[in-house]
Amino acid sequence: MKPIVYKGWESYDPPETEENKFHIFHGAKFLRNKDGQDWYDVRKELMEKYEGYYFLLVDSNTDIVRFITIDPSGLFPHNTYIVIVDELSDEIKESPYFYKFSKGKFVPDNTFKIQQLEIYLSEEISWASSQISALDDISLFGTPTDEEKERLDALRKYRFTLVRTKPEDNPDIDLPDRP
């Protein structure tokens, strides 16, 4: 089956009715598509028409898959769109963030891996810098032991390796362990 795409959801304020009065009062948000169809109405149709299918929530800006479900009742496609398919690979099911919906197909994408690696590198560089700073204080105000000198050297090499790492070049790179 060719993927079915539901795009173009925008926030709107519906006219108050008996059916939605409670939800409006409690701050519920409403979406409609370019054809003026309300998301909650479309969602009911999708639940009936595509029972047992996969519903993928895809980021409107990046086209990266954000969420997968077989029950669309909990979906709210604000800043996203929905792709419906009858089959899905195990790889996509296990790691949806590593895929993008492009030209009607799901293709691997490293954006999420790169972002995760950038966060990890930043945290590790910060940790190494604080360790180096503490050992530098020992050198400044006292006499470091041979063990402290070796640790300082290992930490500096570790931090150097992290600083030189470019996640976009290889998001699957094996990084050294903390010294």
Q: Are residues 52 and 130 in the same domain?
A: no
Q: Are residues 42 and 94 in the same domain?
A: yes
For tokens 């490293």, the residue is 110
Q: How far is CA 114 from the centre of its chain?
A: 11
CB 32 within 8 A of CB 12: yes
The string of pLDDT tens digits covering residues 106-123 is 999 988 889 999 999 999
Q: Which domain holds residue 132?
A: 112-164
CA distances from 159 to 47, 112, 118 (A): 52, 23, 14
Q: Are residues 18 and 99 in the same domain?
A: yes
Within a domain: 68: yes
Within a domain: 137: yes
The string of pLDDT tens digits covering residues 40-58 is 999 999 999 999 999 999 9
Indicate the residue among 109, 128, 149 that finishes a domain. 109
Within a domain: 131: yes
- Picking from 102, 42, 119, 103, the residue whose alpha carbon sits closest to that of residue 76 is 42
Kindly report the number of other CB atoms within 10 A of residue 76's CB atom. Answer: 16
Q: State pTM to two decimals.
A: 0.73
